[in-house]
Structure 1
Amino acid sequence: MAADSMVQLVSYLTAQQPYEILGTPESQWVDFKSYSPKGPYDLSTDKGKFELSKDVAAFANASGGLLVCGFKAKKKQNELYEVAEKVTPFGKELVDDDSYKSVLAEYVRPLLKVQFYWYDHPADDPDVSGHYFVIEVPALPDADRWAMVARGITDNGQFIKNSWTIPIRNGDNTAYLPPDEAYRLLNDGLRTRRGPAVAPTPVADRVRSREALRTAVGMEETPVLFFQTVPDHPRGLVTGLYADGGLRDILNNQDTLRDAYAFNWASERNRPEPHEGGLLLADGSRRGLLIESDGAVTGAAAANADMLGWAMEASSVIEPRRISVFVLTEITLEYFRLVDQHVLPLVDSTWTHRIVASDFTRPPARTLAPGDDPSFPLRGAPQPATSDSWNYSWQALGDPERDAYEALSRIYPLFGLDVTANPFVDADRVITAKLLEKK
């Protein structure tokens, strides 16, 4: 079996049913810890102190969560995340609550209202005995974001003086606020002292979600254009994903500009499947869509002849990896028609959109040309991609034509082009009518 929420997991521990938790994947709300002779965290070392502080701060910077000590987690073949696979209860003498509190008080800012709980393993189990130690971390209120660890750490596990880091729970992993975003946080605070309110803090980049989707749809060896949308402050599980009229039904019956064989995120052959508390809609190795349990969305479109380069390879053997302007524009608009209209309203938060072009310079490099796609060999000089890790974000506008324009305005510079070279845009938006004129 498995637990699908914090409430259910705690209820299993309270009822002394820890085996019901086996099979639960690590996620945005739970992390499993086994133990060593020094306990789940070795607080006699800098590394142990950092790991405890980092794990607690990361959950506080997301939507809160549980650090559940006494389970061994492992990533199995064909699994995207580590899963609780074995109970490993231990003696209470391995954890000194006061030491845990002291470490968090010394190294985490601001002081967090963390709760500690012990749960007993069934006394009649002939195989193992002991207890489970759970650290419950509440989410920080928006006004108090962000929690930071007041020390960085070296590769050798030693604290670095006069350093700090801001960890953020990212799926089943921990990401760190990049230096440029931390710099923006500092300047935002200074501007708040001097004048009016500032723009929202940037959201963490969910790298892990892109990697998971890429694996799920079999695009590991293919250049991929990712679209990603994340709530700046997740509120926990989105309700109604699987209900009648919910997101699963919407994905299954998408309102697209053309049929499901066109350049959108629908599929005639496959249906959205439950996945890690969310939904996965995979369409072979052409495209895929992942919606996570907190509403975050990741879309992947293959930059090959089956998707972004559709019909372009026939134009010339000289340019076998040219991207179709029309296909690029339509699938971009269709992503935001789906996400802006049906996902953003589910979470009361500001949202961040992101585009990532991965491996576009892998030989032969992907190319893009100004203007419309040529009807006969290669009118317009195609420009090669200039980076393998193109990654840009912006605050979601909630208007599909506007957000599609913002995405294209960040994609075109990858090829040394301005978005005005795209014939389907005008002013600050993609013009749907112009796309529909294209046969």
Structure 2
Amino acid sequence: MAADSMVQLVSFLTAQQPYEIVGTPESEWVDFKSVPPNGPYDLSTHKGKFELAKDVAAFANAGGGLIVCGFKAKKRPNELHEVVEKVTPFDKKVVNTDSYKDVLTEYVRPLLKVKFFWYDHPQGDPGAAGHYFVLEVPALPESERWALVTRGINDDGQFIKNSWTIPIRNGDTTAFLPPDEVYRLVNDGLRVRHGRAGSAVPAPAADRVKSREDLRAALGMEETPALFFQSVPDHPRGLVPGMYADGGLRDVLDKQDTLRDANAFNWASVYRRPEPREGGLLLADAPRRGLLVESDGAVTGAASATSEMLGWAMERYSDGGARRISVFVLTEITLEYFRLVDRHVLPLVDGSWTHRIVASDFTQSPGCVLAAGDDPAFPLRGAPQPATSDDWNHSWQALGDPERDAYEALRHIYALFGLDVPVNPFVDGDRVSTAKLLPKR
């Protein structure tokens, strides 16, 4: 027998009938992977990372599909496609789903809502034992195509910097968008843009001003200088599914995977649990910080720019009474925001997102100041510079990589103080370095 649809294939796996899948040909909706010792994709290599990103983007650019790991497929004489000839279930330990998510987040644009599933091989089978791993890739809406892989690869299996590619699933193989088509798409986009020159500029992702006001009120921070982080889907699609389900977003907020414990500079709370609020969630940990998740997935975070949070343990360095912000605290809480949102919220809504930072009341007397902190061993070093605006509001297209989005946020925050972000001791190139930050624990 053979599976003739995604639904039937998954039903065979769910019923622990993997042998019913033998004879299924690879096609525009399914790709089969056998499992070598390092897993279906060896993510310790550039080639393995590229192959995963390429396969996922290719399905997204077609009609969506399944990548089914644990079956050996082979093309036989006189057959057009590779066909499953053997079940090869395997141990779960060779696949780290978090690593798969990290690779897709870093190397595929836009962010895709890929789902991961494990299925068991029937017990008592003397011929095989283990599990099957399935990646379910959604089709990218026509209006949001194309998905691209942010790196190319050379014949030696190494990434090529400043290169990219657009793969497309074509039957049981992968094709790539040809240069002439890419050229046409770019020029079509430019013509559309130029054609709008005399008309109104399209509105950016909505600035959720009311969300900031609501969170500020919930935290009792109306008169407190605050740094806001916001993340909004460019094309909201209504209620986010599973907000309150087991393992859903409420559980993610309640049991956050932070670099340090909940008493450090992150968004977790020892004393508070996320509460339902108008179809979303509120995690209010006044007077330090808080998170508001709206029903459509939009997130607002607020951190106090006082000694309660951003100025933690800085009172003795606050010359003239100005509120001095700690470089270390600022960097850690910024990175923690994007570790939470980029990894756990952005994948819930397909398509592009906009991140935003808003520094509110930073010049309110006695004002906030920030020093460069130009040496990892002495992150307080440098002359403190005053904030230059009371309503600093800047946004950028979400990159989906926590370290890179944290860098973009800090780049905008540092400009508020007339500073250049490379002087931050925890920055490495165009990203915040977790490795540099962690030794300061």
What TM-score comes out, normalization by structure 2 length?
A: 0.54
Which residue number corresponds to residue 400 of structure 1?
Answer: 402
SS at match of 2:220: coil
1:307 counterpart (306, 309, 317): 309
Q: Deviations over 1:60-94 (max 9, x none)?
A: xxxxxxxxxxxxxxxxxxxxxxxxxxxxxxxxxxx
Distance in 2, matches of 1:422 and 1:377, equals 8
Q: Deviations over 1:210-237 (max 9, x none)?
A: 0000000111010000000000010000
Q: Does the 8 Å contact 2:389/2:416 carry over to 1?
A: yes
Distance in 2, matches of 1:373 and 1:290, equals 34
1:349 counterpart (337, 351, 354): 351
SS at match of 1:393: strand
Distance in 2, matches of 1:193 and 1:221, equals 42
Distance in 2, matches of 1:233 and 1:224, equals 27
Which residue number corresponds to residue 434 of structure 1?
Answer: 436
1:278 counterpart (277, 280, 289): 280
Letter in 2 for 1:343: V
Distance in 2, matches of 1:358 and 1:233, equals 27
CA gap of 1:194–1:430, structure 2 versus 1, over 3 A, is same
CA gap of 1:421–1:244, structure 2 versus 1, over 3 A, is same
Q: Deviations over 1:267-317 (max 9, x none)?
A: 000000001110000111110000000000000000000100001112355
Which residue number corresponds to residue 220 of structure 1?
Answer: 222
Q: Does the 8 Å contact 1:265/1:288 carry over to 2?
A: yes
Letter in 2 for 1:245: G
Residue 392 of structure 2 corresponds to residue 380 of structure 1 = no
Q: Deviations over 1:20-39 (max 9, x none)?
A: xxxxxxxxxxxxxxxxxxxx
Shift of 1:191: 3.7
SS at match of 2:320: coil
Q: Does the 8 Å contact 2:326/2:380 carry over to 1?
A: no
Shift of 1:409: 0.6
Distance in 2, matches of 1:296 and 1:208, equals 12
Q: Deviations over 1:253-279 (max 9, x none)?
A: 000000000000000000000011100
CA gap of 1:191–1:362, structure 2 versus 1, over 3 A, is farther
Q: Does the 8 Å contact 2:228/2:301 carry over to 1?
A: yes
Letter in 2 for 1:315: Y
- Aligned residue pairs total 253
CA RMSD of aligned residues (A): 2.7
SS at match of 2:324: coil
SS at match of 2:227: strand
Which residue number corresponds to residue 192 of structure 1?
Answer: 192
Identity percentage of aligned residues: 77
Distance in 2, matches of 1:421 and 1:392, equals 20
Q: Does the 8 Å contact 1:227/1:353 carry over to 2?
A: yes
Distance in 1, matches of 2:267 and 2:356, equals 17
Shift of 1:349: 1.8
Distance in 1, matches of 2:403 and 2:379, equals 30
Q: Pairwise mapping of residues 64-75 of structure 1 onto structure 2 (< 5 A)?
A: none
Q: Does the 8 Å contact 2:322/2:369 carry over to 1?
A: no
Q: Does the 8 Å contact 1:325/1:372 carry over to 2?
A: no
Shift of 1:202: 2.2
CA gap of 1:283–1:193, structure 2 versus 1, over 3 A, is closer
Distance in 1, matches of 2:194 and 2:210, equals 38
Q: Pairwise mapping of residues 53-64 of structure 1 onto structure 2 (< 5 A)?
A: none
Residue 330 of structure 2 corresponds to residue 328 of structure 1 = yes
SS at match of 2:325: coil
CA gap of 1:378–1:398, structure 2 versus 1, over 3 A, is closer
Letter in 1 for 2:192: T
Distance in 1, matches of 2:309 and 2:193, equals 49
Distance in 1, matches of 2:333 and 2:289, equals 10
Q: Does the 8 Å contact 2:376/2:425 carry over to 1?
A: no
Letter in 2 for 1:262: A
SS at match of 2:354: strand
Letter in 2 for 1:367: V
Structure 2 residue runs without a partner (length 5+): 1-140, 145-187, 196-200
Shift of 1:376: 8.9
Distance in 1, matches of 2:260 and 2:203, equals 37
Distance in 1, matches of 2:204 and 2:298, equals 15
Which residue number corresponds to residue 241 of structure 2?
Answer: 239
Which residue number corresponds to residue 369 of structure 1?
Answer: 371
CA gap of 1:427–1:191, structure 2 versus 1, over 3 A, is farther
Which residue number corresponds to residue 340 of structure 2?
Answer: 338
Q: Pairwise mapping of residues 122-161 of structure 1 onto structure 2 (< 5 A)?
A: none
Moved over 6 A (4+): 373-378
Q: Does the 8 Å contact 1:316/1:378 carry over to 2?
A: no
Which residue number corresponds to residue 258 of structure 1?
Answer: 260
Which residue number corresponds to residue 293 of structure 2?
Answer: 291
Structure 1 residue runs without a partner (length 5+): 1-140, 145-187
Distance in 2, matches of 1:389 and 1:377, equals 26
CA gap of 1:437–1:323, structure 2 versus 1, over 3 A, is same
Distance in 2, matches of 1:314 and 1:223, equals 19
Which residue number corresponds to residue 419 of structure 1?
Answer: 421
Letter in 2 for 1:192: V
Distance in 2, matches of 1:372 and 1:260, equals 27
Q: Does the 8 Å contact 1:312/1:320 carry over to 2?
A: no
Q: Deviations over 1:114-158 (max 9, x none)?
A: xxxxxxxxxxxxxxxxxxxxxxxxxxx9969xxxxxxxxxxxxxx
Shift of 1:192: 2.7
Distance in 2, matches of 1:374 and 1:306, equals 23
Letter in 2 for 1:422: N
SS at match of 2:315: coil
